[in-house]
Amino acid sequence: MRLWHMAVVAAAGLFAASCCDGGGGAAVSAPSGLYPAPQGDKWGFIDREGKPALEPRYDAVGAFSDGFAAVQVGGRRGKWGFIDTSGKVAVQTAYDAVLPFSEGFAAVKKENLWGYVGRDGKEAFKPHFDDAQSFSEGLAAVHVGGRGGKWGYIDRSGKIVITPQFEEADAFSGGLACVMVNRKWGYINKRGETAISPNFDGAMPFAEGLGLVRVGRSWGYVDGTGSTVIIPQYDDAGGFRDGLARVKSGKTWGFINKSGATVIDAKYDDVQGFSEGLAAVRVGTKWGFIDRQGQFVINPQYDAAGPFTGGLSFVVDQKTQRYVDKKGQSVWPK
């Protein structure tokens, strides 16, 4: 599996571990209204006003997802479990690694094998997969067969519904999943049928109706039939968010729309995808935020920055970790 496995699988983004996602930046789960926050060498959670919500007692945490947050106790090599929004233990800290809850399940690792726990805190499917991904659109990619094995997909009953046959596989998005066959990437539907032939050197999940694909060293976009919508021409790129996608030409980044037209010139040293109308961009060594017109809303001043979620962004300013609002005002610490 090429994406996302970390000790806490950093749904927590900048928090307990550095992070990434296909669109460039990690996400905090806004619906819970709770945000991971450090105090000394421990992690707890604050609310949207920056007030303490859950006591800092964990060695590392993940963001809330599907009503639960991953937490680690016992030091850097400690075990992982989950808490609910009240701070109550929902899944015992008994696992070596976890993925965020999604569609009622969370993938968990024990003794080098992956399984799934349910919202009741019990193991829905005992650990017996070599690797596993989160559920998406009712299916989850799993790896069987050990070294040299293959990826397939299970449904919510734990039944294998798409026979393991792929060298790599990603989550379903928009009814399609990108998979690798004979070192080439294509897309399948939920019946396991080829929807877009594996002719690409790289591929990422569909986002807002378009799939990101690589031909040689250049990235472009296809629609659900595999027809080219935006000719591969970029040195790097991300999925569409809020109608815009980040693209790299040479050494700088900008943004395009779904017609392939440049809407924000490539002039930044790094960028993240848009979230809640703003995108983090780096100029030199500092991060700031721009709006959809490319105007700075928060000038570059941070050493690191995450996307806005629920009106807040987690940033690092001269080694100080803080949450800021869309005006750049510190919400936490006050």
Q: Which residue has the tokens 């599907």?
A: 66
Looking at the fold, whether 96 and 216 belong to one and the same domain comes out as no
Residue 114 lies in a domain: yes
Number of independent structural domains in the chain: 3
Q: Which residue has the tokens 């094995």?
A: 149
Burial class for 230, CB neighbours closer than 10 Å (0-12, 13-18, 19+)? buried
**Which of 107, 59, 106, 62 is CA-nearest to residue 79?**
59
d(CA 28, CA 45): 12
83 in Cβ contact with 115 (< 8 Å): no
Q: Which residue has the tokens 């790094």?
A: 270
Of the residues 223, 240, 257, the one at which a domain ends: 240
Helices and strands in the chain, H and E counts = 0, 35
How would you label 163-182 residue by residue, b for 16+ Cβ within 10 Å and e otherwise?
ebebbbbbbbbeebbbbbee
| pLDDT the model gives residue 293 | 97
Looking at the fold, whether 54 and 118 belong to one and the same domain comes out as yes
Looking at the fold, whether 16 and 93 belong to one and the same domain comes out as yes
d(CA 17, CA 162): 33
The residue range of the domain holding 100 is: 1-152
Looking at the fold, whether 36 and 79 belong to one and the same domain comes out as yes
77: Cβ–Cβ under 8 A, 6 or more apart, which residues? none
Residue 158 lies in a domain: no
Residue 8 lies in a domain: yes
| pLDDT the model gives residue 319 | 86
Looking at the fold, whether 203 and 65 belong to one and the same domain comes out as no
Residue 177 lies in a domain: yes
CA 331 to chain centre: 24
Q: Which residue has the tokens 């040689």?
A: 216
d(CA 149, CA 142): 10
Looking at the fold, whether 17 and 128 belong to one and the same domain comes out as yes
Looking at the fold, whether 178 and 223 belong to one and the same domain comes out as yes
How would you label 307-327 residue by residue, b for 16+ Cβ within 10 Å and e otherwise?
bbbbebbbbebeeebbbbebe
CA 9 to chain centre: 9
Residue 166 lies in a domain: no
Looking at the fold, whether 146 and 293 belong to one and the same domain comes out as no
Residue 22 lies in a domain: yes
Burial class for 258, CB neighbours closer than 10 Å (0-12, 13-18, 19+)? middle
Looking at the fold, whether 234 and 248 belong to one and the same domain comes out as no
Structure tokens at 35: 């945000």
Q: What is the value of pTM for the model shown?
A: 0.91
Residue 107 lies in a domain: yes
| pLDDT the model gives residue 182 | 98
Looking at the fold, whether 139 and 185 belong to one and the same domain comes out as no
Domain of 289, CATH number, reads 2.40.128.630
Is the omega angle on the peptide bond into residue 38 within 30 degrees of 0, that is, cis? no
188: Cβ–Cβ under 8 A, 6 or more apart, which residues? 162, 176, 177, 179, 194, 195
Residue 167 lies in a domain: no
Segments of 269-326 assigned E as strands:
270-271, 279-283, 286-290, 296-302, 304-305, 313-317, 320-324
147: Cβ–Cβ under 8 A, 6 or more apart, which residues? none
As averages over each run of 10 residues, the pLDDT of the chain (334 residues) reads 38 36 40 92 97 98 97 96 98 98 98 98 98 99 97 98 99 98 99 99 98 99 99 99 98 99 99 98 99 99 97 95 98 95
Structure tokens at 78: 């400690």
Nearest-Å Rg of the Cα atoms of the chain is 20
Of the residues 240, 270, 299, the one at which a domain ends: 240
Q: How many CB atoms lie within 10 A of CB 20?
A: 14
Looking at the fold, whether 183 and 119 belong to one and the same domain comes out as no
| pLDDT the model gives residue 31 | 66
Looking at the fold, whether 125 and 266 belong to one and the same domain comes out as no
Of the residues 240, 255, 271, the one at which a domain ends: 240
